[in-house]
Structure 1
Amino acid sequence: MVERTRQEDGFVVFERADATLRWAQAACEEGLRILSEGGERRHGGTWFVGVDALPNAPDGSIKGIPLNGPFMEAIEAPDHWHRAQLSVVFPGYPRKDSAESDAAHRFRRDRDAAHVDGLLPEGPQKRRHLREPHGFILGLPLNVSTASPLVVWAGSHIIMRDAFTAAFDGKPPSEWADTDVTDVYQAARKSVFETCDRIEIHAEPGQAVLLHRHSLHGVAPWGDAAGDMRMIAYFRPLTGFARWL
């Protein structure tokens, strides 16, 4: 259970607000409808990725319910909200996919699939490039569940920022997307594992979790928690490359 929400740790958990709860309830209804229609599940059927799955409007509202809450005072809201990800985890997560390597599965199981958003693995060797510079990561829990919580490494955003600052030094932002940052990223991630506290964040509908865009984060295994799913909506609005760093 998270006990601290200091901004220097790279995340803030906002207290429950009625406006946020109304949005989460509407989004949960849509989420259940989307799940009933099927869709691809990964990791042995234990994760519905749901990228761009929620049908929220460009102003962030869903089913006419505005996207609002205390978190709005802590962000620079985009002019156009993208369709939110509907991330749903099911009991047994993570099972091993047939096409998944043993090493990749172990990393997902033992290291929560820790990653920095926007660094996309490409090609057979899964080399990392900054293709999607996000402004922030906003998580909105849609159901009550203690299973598979969001995990963040406190202070990791500072280590990652310093590593990317060095990696892009002397390069114009127009070249950053084509810069292979795999080795720098993996070395920084190793340093994070060795020096930063791993924090599990448990939040309920009506709350919101705001992550710094450079924070190393992931999803914990399901464990022995009760329930039939854990559902969270995520917004990751894009920003400019220079502003990302």
Structure 2
Amino acid sequence: MEARDLSQDGYAIFPYDRAVAAWANAAHRVGKAVLDKGGDLRHVGTWFVGVDALPNGPDGSVDGVPLAGAWRNHVTPPSTWHAAQLSIVFPGYPQQDVNESDAAHRFRHSRDAAHVDGLLPEGPQKRRHLREPHGFILGFPLDDVRASPLVVWRGSHRMMRAAFRTAYTGLAPEDWGDVDVTEIYQENRRTVFETCERVEVTAAPGQAILLDRHILHGVAPWGANAQGEMRMMAYFRPIVAPAAWL
């Protein structure tokens, strides 16, 4: 991994690290126990959303295994790590939920449900507002994730960041969440699809994936010839002040 990867491409994949592998092994074991207890399954049971589902400690550790690795040299760790998301995908993902529109389902299939984190859809029209400004997105594969990999659009973070700067020009950061950015977000997302390379990010347990907070990303549908019972990822997205987000 080179520092330029994150600034230029918007994502970086770190090589295998024994400390990361130990954490991923512990998180996988604990994650399966969490899954066994049930939770928020969507898309006809093909996606376990798992927001804040991993019971890691405030230092990020799982079952006493520390959250460590070379990725720490490229982020500002939060004083307290939130409970990580456990994103678990099953064969057949995505199936169409009864309350999901045909258009939304097609977008999930054809565009990997591409999104920028932190811009939450609100109300019946799902208008986008900045509600969760993240400092970075840090992902850990917990098993073989090739069946349904993370997808990014290379370099899209620069385009999306410029769009958000335009949207919030002249406004105090504490007021940014009140701004409806739906149109500028969707317009620039379409441009990203036309101009940026779609990349399926494949990594193995023991590696870490660091994403720029503004990169457009999603999850690929379960592959037609993919093997395995599931694919499991853990994600940390520490919250920062809106001014730091932009």
Q: TM-score, normalised by structure 2?
A: 0.97
Aligned to 1:172: 172
The alignment status of 1:104 with 2:112, answered yes or no, reads no
SS in 1 for 2:8: helix
SS in 1 for 2:87: strand
Rounded Cα–Cα distance in structure 1 between residues aligned with 2:105 and 2:205: 30
Aligned to 1:74: 74
| Superposition misfits of 4+ residues, deviation over 4 angstroms | none
Aligned residues of 1:145 and 1:227 also touching (Cα < 8 A): no
The alignment status of 1:238 with 2:213, answered yes or no, reads no
Aligned to 2:138: 138
What letter is aligned with 1:144? D
CA RMSD of aligned residues (A): 1.0
Aligned residues of 2:128 and 2:180 also touching (Cα < 8 A): yes
Deviation, structure 1 residue 144: 1.9
Deviation, structure 1 residue 5: 4.5
Rounded Cα–Cα distance in structure 2 between residues aligned with 1:132 and 1:36: 29
Question: Residues 10-29 of structure 1 correspond to what in structure 2 (within 5 A)?
Answer: 10-29=10-29
Aligned to 1:226: 227
Rounded Cα–Cα distance in structure 2 between residues aligned with 1:14 and 1:28: 19
Deviation, structure 1 residue 6: 5.4
What letter is aligned with 1:242? A
Rounded Cα–Cα distance in structure 2 between residues aligned with 1:46 and 1:220: 13
SS in 1 for 2:232: strand
Rounded Cα–Cα distance in structure 2 between residues aligned with 1:6 and 1:168: 24
Aligned to 1:216: 216
Structure 2 gaps, min length 5: none
Rounded Cα–Cα distance in structure 1 between residues aligned with 2:145 and 2:181: 36
What letter is aligned with 1:124? P
SS in 1 for 2:163: helix
Deviation, structure 1 residue 143: 0.7
Deviation, structure 1 residue 145: 3.3
Aligned to 1:65: 65
SS in 2 for 1:234: strand
Deviation, structure 1 residue 79: 0.4
Q: TM-score, normalised by structure 1?
A: 0.97
SS in 1 for 2:104: helix
Aligned residues of 1:47 and 1:89 also touching (Cα < 8 A): yes
Aligned to 2:51: 51
Deviation, structure 1 residue 146: 1.4
SS in 2 for 1:113: coil
CA deviation profile, 1:96-126 (whole Å, cap 9, x unmatched): 0000000000000100000000000000000
Rounded Cα–Cα distance in structure 1 between residues aligned with 2:97 and 2:192: 27
Aligned to 2:114: 114
SS in 2 for 1:193: helix
Tell me the percent identity: 62
Rounded Cα–Cα distance in structure 1 between residues aligned with 2:233 and 2:133: 21
Aligned to 1:36: 36
CA deviation profile, 1:118-167 (whole Å, cap 9, x unmatched): 00000000000000000000000001231110000000000000000000
SS in 2 for 1:120: strand
Rounded Cα–Cα distance in structure 1 between residues aligned with 2:245 and 2:6: 21
CA deviation profile, 1:10-44 (whole Å, cap 9, x unmatched): 00000010000000000000011011112221001
Aligned residues of 2:9 and 2:155 also touching (Cα < 8 A): yes
Aligned residues of 1:153 and 1:216 also touching (Cα < 8 A): yes
Aligned residues: 242
Rounded Cα–Cα distance in structure 2 between residues aligned with 1:26 and 1:191: 40
What letter is aligned with 2:243? A
